Structure 1
Amino acid sequence: MALFIAGGMASAADAVVQLRQFVAATRSAEGEFEQVVAAKSGRKPQQSVGHFAFSRPGKFRWEYEKPYPQLLVGDGQRMWTWDRDLNQVTVRHIGDALGATPAAILFGSGSLDENFVLSDVGSSGGLDWVEARPKRAEGAFESLRIGLASGELKRMEMKDNFGQTTQLNFTRLHPNPPLDAARFRFIAPAGADVIGDMVDSVPAVR
């Protein structure tokens, strides 16, 4: 309900105001996404679909279903990446994993100005757009555009430092649902190869 109220107020507001209201009102969410990754070389874009859930700060579950299954889980301290085909788990500190990345917009503490310079870049395709540029140059991406409609997040477009463009469409986003805390816990599957910079802190593999 808070998001809908914020969305109503944002309908006549610029995109930066809409984004700030969305972040302030949406402490958790779940939904579905479509992702398209286009390489600078002009190769055929890679398409994938999946579903997600998050609870600020730092707790999320991001699951690719097609064409290749992969699961990313943030438990507030660590980020786990499980490649099911390889049965390999990578674990990193959540702060290192998010940092000034596009994921911080969704899963971070909500302090946008700490990591990004935000600017309104107008409307196109039925969406109002924000450009978010990282304040620190060591990140892996060059720029990020965020598309909103009436205060609701609809699309994210990222260009990385290698000329690759990733478009993320939120086909369904349900704000502030009741979420089971177990969705943000991860235990490596039996026999999985666990690697990363936080392996010593990983609970015993079952």
Structure 2
Amino acid sequence: MRYFKVAALVAAFAFSGSSNAGGLDDLKQFLTQTKAAKSRFSQTVVGRNGKTTQKASGTFVFQRPGKFRFVYEQPYAQIIVGDGQKLWTWDKDLNQVTVKPVTQALGATPAALLTGDGQLERNFVLKDAGQSDGMAWVEATPKQQDAGFDRVRIGFVGGQLRGMEVRDNFGQTTLIQFSSFETNPSLDAAEFRFTPPKGADVVGE
């Protein structure tokens, strides 16, 4: 796939909380209060040299544990669906579908921080990361050395999640901003089902 990484693409959504709470408190409250959500997102990838290398945008819905759907609208059409057992990634232009067990695909990734079972201390070291850019931040460092990223920072404003920064092992940083949050909406079960399009090349099933 041209630009998608499960470890770099995640979303999270609004919930009520105290504006005085630290990032770690906000994250814990998010995990207890938000079982499902949907949002728009915009994503920017910045290289080691500080230059922007990729931009993308689209929509996201999730239902914990382990169910989610990314729809990339720009710059390429792509759909990523986690149905609780499998992770389906479809590149429309290539008409290629990649399938993996969802537990293998998530593991100690940023996706697991927000769509997993909430047992974060099992895979991450968590700490408050102070205030910057108008947000309260929490930093998560994976315990697994082969996680594929160095750290992820999650930013909250007034108890609402607004941003995420993921720094990978190659020095790239993926910045994600969230908008049009909707917490615990009624979701159609079809959101988390995926059937490969006719003629698609299916890899990994």
Distance in 1, Cα, partners of 2:84 & 2:156 = 27
Q: Secondary structure at the match of 2:15?
A: helix
* Map of 2:117 onto structure 1: 109
CA distance in 2, matches of 1:178, 1:115: 30
Out of 106, 128, 139, the residue aligned to residue 131 of structure 1 is 139
Greater fraction helix = 1
Aligned pair count reads: 192
CA distance in 2 between counterparts of 1:21 and 1:104 reads 16
Could you tell me the TM-score, scaled by structure 1's length? 0.90
Shift of 1:43: 4.5
Q: Which residue of 2 aligns with 1:119?
A: 127
Q: For 1:1-150, list aligned pairs within 5 A.
A: 3-4=15-16, 7=17, 10-150=18-158
Query: Aligned equivalents of 1:37 and 1:132: distance in 2?
Result: 19
Runs of at least 4 residues off by over 2 Å:
41-45
Paired AA for residue 33 in structure 1: F
- In the alignment, structure 2 segments of 5+ residues that lack a partner are 1-13
Structure 1 residue 169: deviation in Å?
0.4
Q: Displacement, 1:172?
A: 2.2
Q: Give me the CA root mean square deviation.
A: 1.3
Alignment partners' CA distance in 2, 1:166 and 1:63: 17
Q: What is residue 202 of structure 1 aligned with on the other side?
A: none
Task: Name the larger-Rg structure.
Answer: 1
Write the distance in 1 (CA, Å) between the matches of 2:124 and 2:159: 19
Unpaired runs of 5+ in structure 1? 200-206
* Percent identity of equivalent pairs: 53
Shift of 1:45: 2.9
Which residue matches 2:184?
Answer: 176
**Contact 2:128/2:139 (<8 A) preserved:** yes
SS in 2 for 1:45: strand
Please say which of residues 42-51 and 160-169 is displaced more in the overlay: 42-51
Residues 129-153 of structure 1: per-residue CA shift (max 9 Å, x gap): 1110001111110011110012111
Aligned twin of 1:204: none
Q: Distance in 1 between matches of 2:102 and 2:95?
A: 21
User: Which SS does the other structure have where 1:21 is aligned?
Assistant: helix
